Homo-oligomer: A and B are copies of this chain.
Amino acid sequence: MNSGQDRRDGSGGGKRQEILAAATDRFGRDGYEHTKWADIAHDVGVGPTALYHYFESKQHCLFEIMDEAIEDFRSSFVAITTEERDPARALAAVMADSFELSEQEVHRNRVLVAEQGRLSHPSSARPEEEARQAARARTRDLEFAWASFLDSAMRAGAIPQSDARLLTRAVLGLYNSIWHWYRPNGIVGLAQVGDHFTGLALAMVGVPPQTLAPRQSAA
């Protein structure tokens, strides 16, 4: 999950990434609605109007964060499933990788699941609407990658036959649900949550436990 930080160069460069990082922390910690645009400006050491050089609005910034998060999930998924040809091992590696998160990436996941409803509502401002549509298209790409992978695994007999699209939604829904309640530095550690939910996701998909070696390291 560490791939996206330097993905966008060009438009704004370092300061733009700084703003995205500061906004991710604020939105994740305090909630999107409870964060003021001016607080983010303060965090990165610029005046509030300077932010508009990079983003049209707070919501534009939110959609960019969501888009980047989804793209990181998608590119990691493709990289891991291309590298590891065994479907069961690939699934285990994808799950393990999806719990190797910095605190900022945990915040980003929280933002993604807490605010996903906003992606359903068209915006009248153009850059905002473009970012919204990009994030939605990215979500469809991620779901398509998962469903194609699960469908192949079913055809190969590695997992039981079922509806690959519904199964995709179940696996992603189970994973996303974690970020509604998980708090960094809470009672339950991330490694424990990761082990438990990885096991549950594999049981749901129907990977027989004995097909996996004792412990796979994430790609």
Contacts and interface: CB of A to CB of B under 8 A. Distances in A.
B196 A200 contact: no
A196 B167 CA distance: 8
Interface residues of A, number: 32
B34 A121 contact: yes
A172 B31 CA distance: 22
B196 A163 contact: yes
A145 interface: no
Contacts of A177: 169-170, 172-174, 176-177
Interface in A110-160: 114, 116-117, 120-121
Contacts of A120: 31
Contacts of A174: 170, 173-174, 177, 204
Contacts of A170: 174, 177, 196-197, 200
Interface string A159-201: 0001100110110111011101100000010001100110110
A212 interface: no
Copies in the complex: 2
A203 interface: yes
Contacts of A176: 173, 177
Nearest to A172: B177
A167 B174 CA distance: 11
A202 to B, nearest CB: 10
B116 A196 contact: no
Contacts of A48: none
Given A114-B117, A170-B177, A177-B177, 16 more contacts: A116-B180, A117-B180, A163-B196, A166-B193, A166-B196, A166-B197, A167-B196, A169-B181, A170-B174, A170-B196, A173-B173, A173-B177, A174-B174, A174-B177, A203-B204, A204-B204
